[in-house]
Structure 1
């Protein structure tokens, strides 16, 4: 495990009643230390147990999403980079549902703030954004906190099967909309 992560969790273990607050704040700071979300959630399960670790991770991840919602408007260059990354990964007109974003959050190499941007574009108002952020963070916090200790024991074929299952879920949870052109909807009458 990363030395920074080990040091941070040693401090949290020794802090007693303040440990949950430090853990929640660590979720916000972990992005500046380049520590993956999954590792922090797994450590939450080790430090606080499955239930409290999931709750603290969910609070920390939701707080991080709220900070992103307000801060992204100030950092236009970062916002534009995320938009380019979104177009590169998902296409120009991609409109991901909250369920799809929840599934993508389970895949460790998908950029967390990119998914927050997708949520923000889908839910531009604050309250719907926070609701969608909580819903999409629940599987992430639960899965990595509860099952984190077992994930590292999975063999590569099992990991591939899990990623394929997540891909199928991602496809099934898509927004099912078909855009028809004017000519398709009103075909020209056959001339005699």
Structure 2
């Protein structure tokens, strides 16, 4: 079913408004009333489109993660298919570190909105499936499910903020690469 033009405009206006408000306010202080007002629509439009703050922040994160998802599925190696699993793992954690660093406030707002069930988020599930598959190839003897969750824990919003504050994006990337190598059970990837 094709989205109506006015619904598509409202969706984009709401996502832009939420993004702008996250840049100006603490993640816990962005309300649906503020988002609706900034987008120039009624609060009912926000609820019809997203259902809740959780739905709004899930969709905003999914939009930000779409490029990464496309690269994982069909982009060039090493992020995309065709590279050995260790190279793909490192490429993925590098890209996810950049995504998290560029979207710290969104990640924090998303975590607050999804706090009741963070593992049900579709973007999280997609990342987890990808890591689970790669880790499963690298560590068939390990618990790939747990290790994928543990690795994704390195992208906690507050942890990302602290790491970047005390060393920039380079520190975050090196830290998650080190963790990924340890999870993979190797000291380097060829």
For normalisation by structure 1, the TM-score amounts to 0.31
Q: Which has the higher helix share?
A: 2
For normalisation by structure 2, the TM-score amounts to 0.32
Quick check: which has more Rg, 1 or 2? 1
